[in-house]
Structure 1
């Protein structure tokens, strides 16, 4: 019998007289089902294709729609006129030619690696102080809500941008230092005049798109129960929902998607991306994004709308049912210690580990699922270091929606990098933690006070998600 078993057996025998195991031999229990991040829809795949599988239990019709939606998501759109009539209408101004250009393998985008490289999933949102009729922020009067840095043949590009970085040093309690990179954006080569005075520029990085339908399937009351806008419990966390405009119903509803929870559902999120990112019109967003002086009616288009209602719905279904991959190494004792630390330092105040979906979603496979997304979908003040100073419906310039953490540990496998936060400024999980401020400042400070091994355990845990 090895030494560990001898000690453990002796402690069992002598338990009545108070024998206790040393921490080195303490076994932490695994929760039942904690590896199933997406409940029964979880996919058992951890390869570079891990984000590209559908949830299980779809109907035959849903599986067919998933395949068609997949093709429209991955294949490039072209400008009109074209023989490819189902995928023409790109532009006239755009950021990408396909959804997959920003969400490669259904994963994340990244900032440009060098000056002159085309942005791959990072774009700049533009807004002014004030509120539009639908409750959203006011757009730039020339360039709209988004700087589109590409244009079809014959049109002048709206503009481009470069990024420089300022070093910021964070020091742990044990003396270890980490150099963070604060991005500074410079917009240049504007094609239609200057930006409006007081313009707010907010970089937005394309996120991985697994599990979106499960988040949509959460009951509103579940999320409201997690909110505490006035911090009545005094824990320093005051998450609150955003309320945004639902184009289809002409109503104000809870926001769930986007970095500031500024979209109410998956379909509108998809339609907004088609419009802003690719210049593709839909029944939800029928207007082209043309600056004053450019007659969009004189430019060939792909029809009105350029993506049909049926095809838009299929792309929305595709992005709704992309399955969440299974956790790996979840029963490793260091991982379980890291999980405990994740909770004790306060990370789970916003990154809620376990939620249950409701029973009303249109896709039956997403109903009544016990999921582990590690989010509350609420807005939190993240402090001045992360502020973009750009309000978005009810979200202030310092507030961001808690991102889901599932899939975090597979980003490098799928995409070959681990750029995190809303603009990719964090190059890894630890840097992302160190960028936290505001409501998360206390949790960050506690992380900085951990021992090296405790930090390794916590990061090891997060890499299993």
Structure 2
């Protein structure tokens, strides 16, 4: 286990540590050698899993009582919620607007969502991809005109553009007619808000060795809007549902460690200057460092989960008690509610106990062990990852502190040496990835560094390799080629690599 000073090493020191010992790791079978390679990605919680179910196992070190609670949470995570009123009162309250009927609808097999299959055309409606929307605050409506509960992601009419502006801070508010998330499904008697449209534009380039490549830049708009046009200048941002293994361990990283990443990068020379997003936690009411969501706009796993229940399924809770209907959506406002208090009044559609079971389930999903960590090509790729300075943002390891809300997780999340490969900071990723939509303290060009663990198993679990915030990248190398801004120098190093070097780099990342 790392000492406290080692946990706060500079990013430069972390890069050196990543490459340390590679010369002896193949021959040395000791525990230290295994740890240096990060084969046990989640410490003693790690499971050696591959295949379709690789993301769905509980922590290896759970006791019997915890495994039973994991199973209960799993049932509520996977099963469909139904419209109210229904005889199944423990699972009714779906909608009025929604994009999925269950958590597993977006996170199939606890895995990663994807945009519509580009081979089948782009008019297929997405499930694992949602679109968040907002308007600049000087154009925002009065507070009572928009959805009362922030949730997370809707879109706009053909008049709305995928703006690439917004480099500086800008206050925003929900779009007055459609709120803050665009939902393309609805219960009976309620109109779906509309349909998402995606248009692709090729972006071509070549590596230094002459090899050509073509990326696909998606452009988003909306059609068949049920409640009239969106406000002119609406900002929109597509978001893919990420894979879930290890999120409880991410939740358990000390805030001080994330802020230490910020300090280390600020003190380094060069363009990489990540910063933390500070946001309010709905469960505690406290300001915390953001670590979930593509812009680190959510601080804790329970906040993320309750927000997804409301935003993606229309399920209210104690902390998000109001349906996400705007004043313009009369059918949504009139739709039956699924929750009741003991006195017969309107109550939350998911109670705290059920929500806690789902959060516990998510919190104890085990990260799979690395594969092929000792293969020569993987070790070569690891050195290339270091030399390209990828490890500055994709910090390899931490030692976890503990869950922010212990009753919602297992004590076994604490004290684990984990290898998520992220600094959990916001970075300017350049104009190519900019969505132009601020989110909390994040501006329109900034994205959180996503964890890399499990990335090589997405194909096994979900049958695709769609990466980045909206799934535009088909595989690791395409994801690298979309990097810009603070990561431009790293991308340029990759562009100069030979074909064999690029293959080794990809193999290393896919081993994580």
- What is the TM-score when the length of structure 1 is the normalising length? 0.91
Moved more, 356-365 or 101-110: 356-365
Listed one character per residue, the Cα deviations across residues 273-298 of structure 1 (whole Å, up to 9, x for unaligned) are: 00000000001111101122416553
Report the equivalent of 2:133.
Answer: 126
Once residues 269 and 160 of structure 1 are traced to their aligned partners in structure 2, the CA distance between those partners, rounded to angstroms, is 25
- Are the counterparts in 1 of residues 251 and 403 from structure 2 also a CA contact under 8 Å? no
Once residues 508 and 307 of structure 2 are traced to their aligned partners in structure 1, the CA distance between those partners, rounded to angstroms, is 35
- Are the counterparts in 1 of residues 202 and 214 from structure 2 also a CA contact under 8 Å? yes
- Are the counterparts in 1 of residues 403 and 413 from structure 2 also a CA contact under 8 Å? no
- Are the counterparts in 2 of residues 107 and 208 from structure 1 also a CA contact under 8 Å? yes
Report the equivalent of 1:32.
Answer: 34
- Are the counterparts in 1 of residues 98 and 186 from structure 2 also a CA contact under 8 Å? yes
Is residue 2:443 matched to residue 1:441? Answer: no
Report the equivalent of 2:211.
Answer: 176
Report the equivalent of 1:218.
Answer: 253
Is residue 2:360 matched to residue 1:358? Answer: no
- Are the counterparts in 2 of residues 346 and 443 from structure 1 also a CA contact under 8 Å? yes
Once residues 328 and 264 of structure 1 are traced to their aligned partners in structure 2, the CA distance between those partners, rounded to angstroms, is 30
Once residues 28 and 437 of structure 1 are traced to their aligned partners in structure 2, the CA distance between those partners, rounded to angstroms, is 35
Report the equivalent of 1:464.
Answer: 511
Any runs of at least 4 consecutive aligned residues in structure 1 with deviations exceeding 4 A, and if so which?
Answer: 131-136
Report the equivalent of 2:380.
Answer: 337
Q: How does 1:75-90 map to 2 (within 5 A)?
A: 75-90=79-94
**What value does the CA root-mean-square deviation take over the aligned residues?**
1.9
Listed one character per residue, the Cα deviations across residues 20-63 of structure 1 (whole Å, up to 9, x for unaligned) are: xxxxxx95635432211111100111121000001122243322
Once residues 459 and 286 of structure 1 are traced to their aligned partners in structure 2, the CA distance between those partners, rounded to angstroms, is 45
Cα 1:437–1:399 shift into 2, 3 Å? same
Once residues 32 and 191 of structure 1 are traced to their aligned partners in structure 2, the CA distance between those partners, rounded to angstroms, is 56
Is residue 2:506 matched to residue 1:431? Answer: no
Is residue 2:198 matched to residue 1:163? Answer: yes
Is residue 2:414 matched to residue 1:367? Answer: yes
Listed one character per residue, the Cα deviations across residues 243-276 of structure 1 (whole Å, up to 9, x for unaligned) are: 1111222222111100001111001100000000
- Are the counterparts in 1 of residues 122 and 199 from structure 2 also a CA contact under 8 Å? no
Query: Aligned to 2:181, what secondary structure does the other structure show?
Result: coil
- Are the counterparts in 2 of residues 260 and 400 from structure 1 also a CA contact under 8 Å? yes
- Are the counterparts in 2 of residues 229 and 239 from structure 1 also a CA contact under 8 Å? no
Report the equivalent of 1:302.
Answer: 338
Report the equivalent of 1:312.
Answer: 355
Q: What is the aligned length? A: 440
- What is the TM-score when the length of structure 2 is the normalising length? 0.83
Query: Aligned to 1:170, what secondary structure does the other structure show?
Result: strand
Report the equivalent of 1:197.
Answer: 232
Once residues 123 and 270 of structure 2 are traced to their aligned partners in structure 1, the CA distance between those partners, rounded to angstroms, is 46
Once residues 34 and 46 of structure 2 are traced to their aligned partners in structure 1, the CA distance between those partners, rounded to angstroms, is 15
Query: Aligned to 2:25, what secondary structure does the other structure show?
Result: coil
Q: How does 1:279-290 map to 2 (within 5 A)?
A: 279-290=314-325
Report the equivalent of 2:365.
Answer: 322
Q: How does 1:386-425 map to 2 (within 5 A)?
A: 386-425=433-472
- Are the counterparts in 2 of residues 387 and 397 from structure 1 also a CA contact under 8 Å? yes
Once residues 410 and 463 of structure 1 are traced to their aligned partners in structure 2, the CA distance between those partners, rounded to angstroms, is 7
Cα 1:233–1:360 shift into 2, 3 Å? same
Q: How does 1:134-153 map to 2 (within 5 A)?
A: 137-153=172-188
Report the equivalent of 1:60.
Answer: 64
Cα 1:427–1:230 shift into 2, 3 Å? closer
**Rg bigger for which structure?**
1
Once residues 250 and 367 of structure 1 are traced to their aligned partners in structure 2, the CA distance between those partners, rounded to angstroms, is 23
Report the equivalent of 1:108.
Answer: 112
Is residue 2:164 matched to residue 1:117? Answer: no
- Are the counterparts in 1 of residues 424 and 448 from structure 2 also a CA contact under 8 Å? yes
**Offset at 1:317?**
0.8
Is residue 2:430 matched to residue 1:383? Answer: yes
